Amino acid sequence: MTLRKCACIDTLYTELPWLERFQAAKDDGFEAVEFWDWRIRDLEETSRAADAAGIAISGFNGDADYSLVDPEHKEAYLDFLKQSIAAAKKLGAGSVTIHSNALGEGGIVVNHYAGLSETVKLCSMYDTLLSCVKLAEEEEIDLNLEALNITTDHIGNFLTTTQMGAEICRLIGSSRLKLLYDVYHMQLNEGSICDTLTKYCDQIGHIHVADAPGRHEPGTGEIQYKKVIGHLEALGYTGRIGYELFPLKDTKTAVKAIMENC
């Protein structure tokens, strides 16, 4: 079984203008693309470029300036998520990605919420997710909840483990809410990639790939991606694999490594 490959065009193909990245990804064998912030893109032009290339848009970030862990953000979080869902439907995207904390420029966690207890953060996230799922079910769109590393890129983020994210998804019990398992982030936070995938594969809706350390293409770090991909195939994973990585040299070299190792 060949898993469906998805290129993050905010990190790959950056040598090209935005609208040319869709055709380039298609030509290289990717089935879909994803990106980060829909607010800075012309949605009509983006849709036309994807349609012309014959490539799907998998999704993008849906929460922007608001945090699940802040109970005072609930209404604003939901209002913005409605806008993100509308943008996704306009582009024909099937999902949006959400996080526990708002992320700023370069992925910096905007607020660590040191003044809130872990209990408040967890209860707020669970409560707001219940409302998010109601929206997702009404609009027939998937939500992918992503845990992030706190060692290197997203210090202060609340959701840091696969276990917490997967267990919340299981408790809520909606097919519209799954975990985005980012192999790079989770290698830095917890390791045990294949064992973790075995435990929680039923709750994983999307996967991100980058090697660690460095966040470059497979083969540049310590992760044995052929083993990881083979394990996912054996588990029967059917979602997309999103290559959200920064090329060590250039996109051409990175794509070659992706196709050889994944």
Q: What is the pTM of this model?
A: 0.97
Return the ∠ at Cα 23 (arms to 212 and 97), rounded to 5°.
Answer: 50
Q: Which residue from 173, 116, 174, 182 is spatially nearest to 146, judged by alpha carbons?
A: 182
pLDDT value at position 2? Answer: 74
What are the mean pLDDT values of the chain's consecutive 10-residue runs (262 residues total)?
90 98 98 98 98 98 96 98 98 98 95 97 98 98 98 98 98 98 98 98 98 98 97 96 98 97 90
Phi-psi region of 153 (alpha: psi -120 to 50; beta: other; left: phi over 0): alpha
Structure tokens at 31: 């089935």
CA distance 93 to 82: 14
Residues whose CB falls within 8 Å of the CB of residue 252, separated by 6 or more in sequence, listed in order: none
User: What is the per-residue pLDDT for 1?
Assistant: 52
The domains located in the chain, with CATH, are: 4-261 (3.20.20.150)
Amino acid letter for position 120: V
Helix axes 225-235 and 251-261, enclosed angle (nearest 10): 50
The answer to whether residues 4 and 29 touch, using CB atoms and an 8 Å cutoff, is no
Q: Residue 65 is inside which H or E element, if any? A: none
The burial of 110, by beta-carbon neighbours within 10 Å (0-12 exposed, 13-18 middle, 19 or more buried), is given as: middle
- Residue 42 has which token pair? 């012309």
Q: Which amino acid, one-letter code, is at 218?
A: P
